[in-house]
Amino acid sequence: MKFATGKWAAVPVVVLMAAGMAMAQSSTTSSSSTTTTQAKPDPTVHQRKENQQARIGNGVQSGQLTSGETANLEHKEAAINQETRADRAANGGKLTTSEKQQINQQQNHVSKQIYADKHNANTAHYGNTEVGQRRANQQARVAQGVKSGQMTAGETARVENRERGINQEVHADRQANGGKLTPQERAQVNRQQNRTSRQIYRDKHNGRTQGKAKP
């Protein structure tokens, strides 16, 4: 009888131990699940700006963005950057929650415009002519400068405005000459592209960049 009593008295202890282990495992699983499903933090203002610039750079390189479209986008990006700098200067180097929300909304608008410009019917066509290949080379250099951060939004906008002006001139000259450029017109375009090329170089080596990441 004593043996039987001891035997059955041990059963509740075993049951309690098993129940405790199950509860601990459940707690661990629940904690792990909470950790894995926790939302990722929102990107910082600087990270968002870098992402936009990378998309613009890719669009320039692929030809999905024309010079005019790029200039327009970069004007908007430059305005947002100026607003961000002014807000930081007024708040000891930081942005308030409402300012971050405002900037994010503005970047959302630019993001939609980037997508629309990259998926519309307007593309950059360079052709196999000397003038066309020079245009393609200039745009490749701009794209690299945008993606590397060597060119600011304002610098890119100014360079692309120059490129747009050259492109419009070339288009008008070709229409007036049955689709071709005269030797004088080619020489004129080449001089303009030389000036733009020097500007691209200066912009990429002047020490002004997109800046370091800040929250």
> Which pLDDT score is estimated for 124?
87
Residue 208's SS3 state is coil
User: Given pLDDT bands bounded at 50, 70 and 90, which one contains residue 8?
Assistant: very low
SS3 66: coil
Cα 107 from Cα 10, distance rounded (Å): 68
| Higher-pLDDT residue of 18, 37 | 18
Domain ranges (residues) in the chain: 45-205
Q: Minimal CA–CA distance to 103: which of 50, 154, 151, 48?
A: 48
**Which pLDDT belongs to residue 39?**
43
- Residue whose pair of structure tokens reads 């601990």 in the numeric block: 24
Given a cut of 60, whether residue 171 has pLDDT beyond it is: yes
Q: Which amino acid is at 125?
A: H
Task: Give the pLDDT confidence score for residue 126 in this predicted structure.
Answer: 80
Residue found under tokens 């909304």: 105
Residue 51's CB: how many other CB atoms inside 10 A? 13
Q: Where are the alpha helices (DSSP H) in 38-129?
A: 45-62, 67-90, 97-118
* pLDDT in the model for residue 137: 94
Residue labelled with tokens 């701009």 = 142
Output the 3-class SS for 108-152: HHHHHHHHHHHCCCCCCCCCCCHHHHHHHHHHHHHHHHHHHCCCC
Query: pLDDT tens digit string along 118-144?
Result: 999 999 888 788 888 999 999 999 999
Q: Higher pLDDT residue, 41 or 184?
A: 184
Residue 20, pLDDT score:
55
Number of CB atoms found within 10 A of residue 148's CB: 14
The percentage of the chain sitting over the pLDDT mark of 70, rounded to a whole number, equals 78
148: nearest Cα among 204, 213, 74, 80: 204
Predicted pLDDT at 215: 37
Are residues 166 and 196 in contact, defined by beta-carbon separation less than 8 angstroms? yes
Question: Three-state SS for 204?
Answer: helix
pLDDT band at 211 (very low <50, low <70, confident <90, very high): low
Give the confidence band of 156 by pLDDT, cuts at 50, 70, 90: very high
Q: What is the pLDDT of residue 19?
A: 52
The dihedral region occupied by 57, where left means phi > 0, alpha psi between -120 and 50, and beta the remainder, is alpha
- Residue 115 CA: distances (Å) to CA of 58, 110, 158: 12, 9, 22
Q: What is the mean pLDDT of residues 41-69?
A: 89
Asked if the model's pLDDT at residue 189 lies above 50, the reply is yes
Contact 142, 200 (CB under 8 A): yes
The phi, psi pair for 66, rounded to 5°, reads -80, 170
pLDDT score of 32 more than 60? no
Residue 37: pLDDT over 50: no
> What is residue 59's predicted lDDT score, i.e. its pLDDT?
96
- Going from the C-alpha of 74 to that of each of 56, 69, 84, the distances in angstroms are 8, 9, 15
Give tens-digit pLDDT for 76-126: 999 999 999 999 999 999 999 999 999 999 999 999 999 999 999 999 888
Average pLDDT over residues 18-43: 49
